[in-house]
Amino acid sequence: GAVVSQHPSWVICKSGTSVKIECRSLDFQATTMFWYRQFPKQSLMLMATSNEGSKATYEQGVEKDKFLINHASLTLSTLTVTSAHPEDSSFYICSARPWTGGSQNTQYFGPGTRLTVL
Amino acid sequence: GQQLNQSPQSMFIQEGEDVSMNCTSSSIFNTWLWYKQDPGEGPVLLIALYKAGELTSNGRLTAQFGITRKDSFLNISASIPSDVGIYFCAGFSSGSARQLTFGSGTQLTVLP
């Protein structure tokens, strides 16, 4: 099956620092990748849609200057949490959608990154 | 944003029992996906459904795409301890084919 990796799997940082999270599709190309945030015992909340070669599309209420997204290739998207604060502590999950010519849409998720900001 | 109505919210069952959960929507969906999420992990795709009426199995799991295209269910037969986790339904609606809509999840606990 399609595999999506994330790195790091967990990170602890000091308040005010920036953290970069990588999302890679290992065995398929993904023109579109997605970044989600998940709070305990809740469903996934879409933060932004990352399109290869163009600017990301952010959901309402998500600060684009705080959560920088770069989709530099068909297999890699990065999320940088800039000037992180304790309230940014969360579980961040990426997903990737294989290009299927428009039919049989699906999405595969990475294993997630646990961010803790002290 | 839009969210699917998923029920039940949680289930406690005995090992060996069958489980059923479902998702409904007020709008039409073109694709239904069922995921399982273990603690501290990302969701793992279990079953994908693409046609109204489609019934698909994956081992002890069976899922169906409702005829009205507004609902889907997932059944787990003969549950085992490793079935514990959160199950999410998700789908692509006809009005938003690029963005996945999620259900609120069903927390499954299997008692030995």
Convert the pLDDT of each residue in A27-79 to its tens digit: 998 888 999 999 988 899 999 998 888 889 999 999 999 999 998 888 999 99
CB B98 to CB A32 under 8 A?
Answer: yes
How much is the average pLDDT of B68-73? 96
Q: How many CB atoms lie within 10 A of CB A69?
A: 24
B110 min Cα distance to partner chain A (Å): 18
Which neighbouring-strand residues pair with A51?
A32
Amino acid at B82: S
Angle at A109 between CA B92 and CA B65, to 5 degrees: 35
Q: What percent of chain A has pLDDT over 70?
A: 96
Residue B87 contacts A where some CB pair is shorter than 8 Å: no
Contact B104/B3 with Cβ under 8 angstroms? Answer: yes
Please give the Cα distance from A44 to B34 (Å, whole number): 14
Beta-carbon separation of B42 and A46 below 8 A? no
Please, what is the average pLDDT of chain A? 91
Alpha-carbon span A29 to A9, nearest angstrom: 22
Alpha carbon A96 to its chain's center: 9
The residue of B2, B32, B45, B107 whose CB has the most chain A CBs within 10 angstroms, and thus the best one to mutate to test that interface, is B45
Return the biggest CA–CA distance within chain B.
Answer: 43
Contacts of B103 in chain A (CB under 8 A): 43
